[in-house]
Each structure stands twice: as C-alpha cells, then as structure tokens.
Amino acid sequence: MARQPEHLPPYRRIANALIEQIKSGELQPGDRIPSSTSMMKSESISTATSARVLGVLRDEGWIDTVPGSGSFVRTQAPLTQGANRIGMVRQGGSGLLEGESVEFVEARTEPASQEVADALGISANDDVVLRRRRYVDAAGVSVVSTTWVTSSLAAQLPAFTEPGRLPKMTMGYIEDRTGRRATQQRETHSVGAVPGDVASQLDAEPGERVLKVTNRYVDQDGEPTEYAVDWHAPRRSWVSESAVG
C-alpha cells in the first residue's frame, strides 16, 4: 500500500506537491520551478534534500534544468501509446488524456505497401483504407497516427472514413459493427525516418528520425483486424514504470 503524504520522506512529499501543480496546470510548461535555495528557505530543508527534489523531477521527466538559468517545467509531455488509449476506452474513457484533443487528418483508399499487407494478411498492392489523425496537447502535436483496414472490412465501417471522431476508437468501432473483438496485440518500437506526408502534420522535418510505434491487432479467431503506425513528435519522451517483483 502506498504511504500517505505525511509519511513520505520530505524530498518525495515536496516533489509530489510540485508534480500536482504541474498536472493541474498551476505550473505551466516553461514556468520556473523554485530553486534549491528558495526551497531550503520555504520548506526548511537541507541543501541535499532540495537537490534531491529537483533530481526526482528531472528523472521523472517533469522539468529541465538549464545551468545558470534554473529549472523549468518541461514543454514536451510524455507520450501516450495506442495500447494505453485502448485501455482507457475499455474502462469507459474517451481514449484521450486530460487537455488532449484529436484531429481528423484524412481517409483514403490506397494500394497496400508490403508492410501493411503483411500485417493484414493480404497481398501487396491490394486495396486498403487508411484513417489518419493527430493528437494535440498543451505542448503541441504529440502523435500522428494512421490505421489501415482491408477494403472488405472498411465496407462494414461507414464512419471509418468520416471526419468525426470514432467514440471508441477503431478497435471499439470494429467490435460494435462486426462482433470481431481484438484479443491480441503486437506492439513494436523502433526509430524511423518520418515520411514526407506525415512530417507536415507532425511539425517535423521530412526524414527526421523519431519514435515509430506499430500496432497489429487480431480478433478472437486469430484474424488481423487493423494495423496502425504512430509517429511521435521530436523531443518527446516515452516513460514506462511498473512494480518490480
């Protein structure tokens, strides 16, 4: 069981309070964090404790420290993966973080690349339908996400090509329309060169190397339902934390 705030070490209690201020928006990206000296005075703590507070905030990705200038709330927010969004939806959420929005970019039919064809179990150059959108938060565009489905599946998904947001994301929409429930997911992380048509939406340079995350989903019969590629904005960080043992 997590310890209550009053039982936490002073450095952790102070760090948690600052993190809550960042989460709530009281401290905005670019805002200055109290210096080690000011914390020593306001919190009646030692130099070592105040240094540890700043160390926690840097280590967990909340602030950046500029030598000679001070520490500031980081302007780039952590990344959110497709798998995390799906978990939010299945728990009754929207799939969006607080303060985050999603923008429809385009939908179209195109010949499947070898990558997409292999993921969907079809032949290269077979028709597939893609839906592209981008996620935006307080720091700007965070992700440009593209999902492909086969043309036969797309025929059962009229809203897939419409500009409106899908209430339960593609996975939930497929399940509602067809009864095909995603039961397995394969997620792959790599670093890739942003394609030109994505770069303009990601506020990145064409060919710039950024985090690329692919997700392939299969249904209860082991058949592929969708394939998605997320290109993450430059200078973002992906942090995963879990219990050990």
What is the value of pTM for the model shown?
0.68
Angle of helix 10-24 versus helix 36-43 axis, rounded to 10? 110
CA dihedral over 195, 200, 206, 209, signed as positive or negative = negative
Residue 179: the pLDDT is 96
Closest CA to 232 of 165, 144, 169: 144
CA dihedral over 164, 169, 174, 177, signed as positive or negative = negative
By 3-state DSSP, what share of the chain in percent is helix, strand and coil, each rounded to 5?
35, 30, 35
Give the tokens for residue 161: 């090509």
Q: Where are the alpha helices (DSSP H) in the chain?
A: 10-24, 36-43, 47-59, 82-90, 114-120, 151-154, 169-178, 196-202
Give the tokens for residue 243: 């219990």
Give the tokens for residue 232: 């993450």
Q: Exposed, middle or buried by CB within 10 Å (0-12, 13-18, 19+), for 207?
A: exposed
Using DSSP's 3-state secondary structure scheme, residue 200 falls into: helix
Give the tokens for residue 195: 């394609």
Residue 44: the pLDDT is 92
Residue given tokens 């799939």 in the structure block:
95
Residue 1: the pLDDT is 35
Residue 2: the pLDDT is 42
Residue 244: the pLDDT is 77
Angle of helix 10-24 versus helix 47-59 axis, rounded to 10? 40
pLDDT tens per residue, the chain (245 residues)?
344 456 788 988 999 899 889 888 899 888 999 999 999 999 999 999 999 899 888 877 788 888 889 999 986 555 555 556 556 555 565 556 667 788 999 999 999 999 999 999 989 999 999 999 999 987 789 899 999 999 999 999 999 999 988 878 899 999 999 999 999 999 999 999 999 999 999 989 999 999 999 999 999 998 999 999 999 998 777 766 667 76
Dihedral angle of Cα 217, 220, 221, 226, to the nearest 10 degrees: -20
Measured between alpha carbons, how far is 95 from 97 in angstroms, rounded to an integer? 7
Measured between alpha carbons, how far is 176 from 150 in angstroms, rounded to an integer? 17
Report the run of H or E that residue 37 belongs to, with start and end.
helix 36-43
**AA identity, residue 121:** G
